Amino acid sequence: MPYLVLKQVQDNQSNGYLLPPYLEELIPADHAARVVNRVVDLLDIRELTSQEKIEGRPAYHPRMMLKILIYAYSQKTPSSRAIAGRCGEDVVFMWLSGMQKPDFRTISDFRKNNINVLKKLFKQVVQICHKLGMVRLGLVAIDGTKVKAATSDYGAKTKDALKEALKAVEADIEKYMAEGLAIDRAEDTLYGENRAGQELPKEVKQALEKREAIVAAIKEIQEIKERDKTGKKEPKLNPLESEARFMKHNGGRIRLSYNCQAAVDEKEGVIVAAEITNEANDKKQMLPMLEKVEETVEKKPEKAVMDAGYYSKDNLEKAEKGKTDCYVTSRRWEEEVQEKGVQEKEETEVVVSSFANLPLQKRVGAAKEDRVMEDSETRSNEEPADAVRRMEAKLQTEEGKEIYRQRKKIVEPVFGQIKFNLGFERFRLRGSDKAGGEWTLVCLVHNIKKIYARIMAKGGEMHDLTRELQAAYNPASKKRGILPTQERVWK
């Protein structure tokens, strides 16, 4: 029986090219990296710095570094070592980097040195979304989510434990210094006393830094105890990141974390304000977040909705003085809504059936009685005495109930997308300032992905995106601080 011979392409990996391949042609026309590339080309990056170099090879262009950093976060690759590896083996990273291969230390330093500038770039991206019609500011939902800090939970210690650790570190410092002096004397005997001075040994430098961190953590714990009037629990801090606090996550686990705040616009889920705090409670974040929205978009939202975590009488009174119509629930109101949702159908069926069985005259009397009771309740609630009662009355209206129902649809999916799609469940940078910059970077990446989703919904034409961006968001506008695409040469 003859064998069936199939046509096959020859397997020959050593085939050469008459002309070198053009990376631009290897990237699909509707690839997300093209949106990252186009958007970053519009941003004003004058405050970004690459490496401070006087000698050696020229520094990498900060725009290229920003492109690979943003794209890496969108692909669940925040590690600087992983990014450096992808620049040498992933065709998309190779295209964004222009075939340049920055090492992991260069990428890490670029991220750390420019973390505060990223907050300004976030504002520019939000303004691009606003100009594209993706932000309406008709209704903004504000909420917070807990994200694990970079340091370990097990490194957190009480004040007494930190004092014991401080004694051990000081003993190590004395040991290293004694060893250093002995080595100096031996070298003086061998080479003479007039030799050049040497920097501190690595072990001594690390021990001194550790001692400084422990002393700062002890001081921080003392301040926490002075502020806490109850004194129920001895506070714990990790000296490597004394600003992080233990917070309860979904599932009940308590971990060293930051409370990451986000204000999300209802239209397309764009994050219009982002901030972090080391306070687990959201109460003090309501007014600052509303101010952040105005600062970022340069416009106040018409309405804002928040859950019971932001509820306090002081917040409600201050919110009434602003131009944003706020809807903030209390714990009691949320519990009542849940109970009513379970009982509503049963009660409705019982009332309707009993009302239908009444004689006609009694039905009219009952209806009149209900109307009288309703009118009296309405009159009593026409002018509530304080901000708390006014908020309760507003939430009882059909509009108030509908607005609060929208809250979960607006903000909760965004946190899910950040934690699951972007894989951001833990900070990689230490300290509230750097962690806040990293949270802003993640929110910036989320917004660029929203721009990509919008383009794909319209057919995925990148040329249309370019025209739309240039028409809606004028890069030459000095008011916005944006440079033209044909930017000055980086030196």
| Domain coordinates in residue numbering, the chain | 23-114+461-472, 157-237
pLDDT at 479: 45
pLDDT at 458: 77
pLDDT at 472: 64
CB atoms within 10 A of CB 151: 19
pLDDT at 484: 40
Burial category of 3 from C-beta neighbours within 10 Å (exposed 0-12, middle 13-18, buried 19 and up): exposed
Alpha carbon of residue 427 to chain centroid:
10
Summarize pLDDT for 351-388 with one digit per residue, the tens.
444 434 545 444 444 434 443 333 434 434 455 568 88
Q: Is the pTM of this model over 0.85?
A: no
User: What are the structure tokens assigned to 131, written together?
Assistant: 């100009």
Which residues, 6+ apart, have CB-to-CB distance to 480 below 8 Å? 44, 124, 127, 473, 474
pLDDT at 447: 95
Q: Could you report the average pLDDT of every consecutive run of 10 residues in the chain (491 residues)?
A: 64 76 87 91 82 67 94 94 94 94 93 88 92 91 92 70 62 62 58 50 62 64 63 69 84 87 94 92 92 92 92 90 90 67 50 45 43 38 70 90 91 93 91 91 95 82 68 52 40 34
H or E segment at 305? strand 303-306
CB atoms within 10 A of CB 50: 21
DSSP-derived pairing of the beta strands 303-306 and 139-148: parallel
Summarize pLDDT for 58-79 with one digit per residue, the tens.
889 999 999 999 999 999 999 9
pLDDT at 367: 39
Looking up tokens 């003085």 gives: 321
Residues 239-264: b if buried by 16+ CB within 10 A, e if exposed = bbbbbbbbbeeeeeeebbbbbbbbbb
Query: What is the DSSP annotation of 335-372?
Result: HHHHHHHHHHHHHHHHHHHHHHTS-HHHHHHHHHHHHH
Summarize pLDDT for 425-476 with one digit per residue, the tens.
999 998 889 999 999 999 999 999 999 998 888 776 666 666 766 666 654 4
Residue closest to 268 by CA, chosen among 93, 455, 54, 119? 455
**SS3 readout for 223-274:** HHHHHCCCCCCCCCEECCECCCEEEECCCCCEEEEEEEEEEEECCCCCEEEE
Contact 31, 71 (CB under 8 A): no
pLDDT at 222: 65
Residue closest to 205 by CA, chosen among 177, 166, 185? 177
